[in-house]
Structure 1
Amino acid sequence: MKVGVMAGYWGSHPPRRMEQTIAEAEALGVDSFWTAESYGSDALTPLAWWGARTSRIALGTSVCQISARTPTALAMAAQTIDHLSGGRLILGIGASGPQVVEGWYGQPYPRPLERTREYVAVMRAVWARAEPVTFEGKHFQLPYGGGTGLGKPLKSIVHPLRSDIPVYLGAEGPKNVALAAEIADGWTPLWFSPKTDEFYRAALAEGFAREGARRTAADFEVANVCWLSEDEDLERAAARLKPVVALYAGGMGANGANFHNDVFVRMGWGQECAEIQRLYLAGRADLAAQAVPTAMVEDVALVGPVDKICEEIVKRWKPTVLTTLILGGWPRPESRERILEAVRS
């Protein structure tokens, strides 16, 4: 199993010491470094800024939201970073949810799988650079069919360093996971739990079995962000992550349309999720966090003393479908090499 480190998206301000973290990660042989976006900081700018201070580590987005940019715009940004980094980009993309897509980007959300399929096809046509790009889809048309009528097919001026930049899909539901297996080079789960491994293996197998599937299980990557909170006191370690779990399970989406909530429900936390969501949507994020059981955090994160963390990596996480464990938290100096080795050994 490979190991990555997650910078994520920002809170109110840029994270501290990230330049030092990525330098330490590269020096210790960490395989990849990842950024994200929601509706504040973007994923590409920090990746390029921090990535410029590295020479080997792969640079991934987990994820770029497809409604934020046209497919040609993201293809341009991807091939630019890929050139500047010497071919180290992993382009993770995702559809996000209706609240962000329609509320923040002002774009329609319906039929996200169909839009994703078209989006990836357009990007790959840009990178292939075989001919001027034309596309007639339900969601994207190149050239645009309305307007002045003066649009013309164009071919990228830049010759991509790699004509086949790896694309990973961020997905949580089984249909979207199957789509990732069919059309992408990898899958980036969110809130993956080892206890749901068989469920996701079945969804991936469905995608691999489709006619024209791009990859097989043997050469497909699954890179999962796993939160990390070290502390000799388990409850104290879990308490640091309960507000994050409550935010996603309770507040990241509307009542009845929260895909993160659905993930935890599939793990068996339906009753708890209903209460967490009720409290969060009522404006009581503090009580919602208190309603998150420690065991629910342990399902999706590495929490507690370093001995426990390393044992769980080996016994619970490594036997799963995951190929890369992206640590959502940089281990303490005294336990850093031990945790990294537990993943890689």
Structure 2
Amino acid sequence: MSEAPVAEAKPPRRQRVMSGIRVTGPLHIGNYWGALSNFVKLQNEGTYDCFFGAMDWHGMTTAYKSTVDVAPWTRDMIAEFIAWGLDPEKSTLFVQSRVPEHIELFMILANLTPMGWLERVTTWKDAEEEAKANDTHNLGRFGYPVLQTADILIYRGEKVPIGKDQTAHLEISREIIRRFNHIYKAKLPEPTPLFTDVPVLPGLDGRKMSKSYGNTMLLTPDEKTLKKNVNMMVTDPQRVRREDPGNPEVCSVYGYHKLYSTAEDLSWVEQGCRTAGIGCGDCKAKLFSNIDALTKEPREKKKELLNNPKLLDSIIDAGCEKARKEAQKTLGIIRSCMKWST
């Protein structure tokens, strides 16, 4: 008597990760170390279904007067995603505005989100005066936490990679989804954080890196621009002369060495700086060489993609189509929970 075949065990269901980067211009290295490098890591772990977006509606809250720039910035961002390691076969790469279900879900959630919840958002309160000054004190910017919630929920995202300083941002999304579940007796997932270590990178002038300050370093600049950027970096202000010993811990250049240089190079920089054995020019030259070496391959890959618009378009189209199918599935679930059909 033959034995009954043993049923194969089903692989465990993979949790879903959702995140994106706001489209405000070309990516800089802060975007890479703060988000993109972690996207690649999560994708390559093979334990998550990953959805990563170029969030152009979020970018429009401040770029509504320069809309002609948003589309090329968006294409550039997707090219950067791929050049730095995101694989369209492993992750779903999409453009936010190409999946209109984001906005439909935003409207649903906007109607059940109390105004007081948005008024207490610290990033809104902190930036309100600046927003008034540059004419970006608008409803889109005020309601960004609701759209952020829709971005996550439309893919039924369960995990969101964030730094610990962004916990409050995710908590309001959890509260909005919790309120939806309570009102409509639904069981939509409340996203939980995947905490990541985000290095604090100063801008070229030593202040916080920000496009508004004009002190960012692009992620894949040409060699000439990269060298110019590195040479602009602020060093230890106490080291006035070449023979003065310095303190690498207060030097912006050393902070970048920690990310781009080997342990051997770090030791060379630290010892040489503290003993005045090397000058700031020597330190910057080493940093330029190390960044350039790590940037060369992604720079060429991005260039190839941008020079082959049909290929890039096909990748974007396929990613948006895949994302939209999942988004439509979610809206079907949401409308069913609401007992709302048209």
- TM-score, reference length from structure 2: 0.29
> In proportion to residue count, which structure has more strand?
1
Q: Which structure carries more relative contact order (alpha carbon 8 Å, separation 6+)?
A: 2
> In proportion to residue count, which structure has more helix?
2
- TM-score, reference length from structure 1: 0.29
Larger radius of gyration: 2
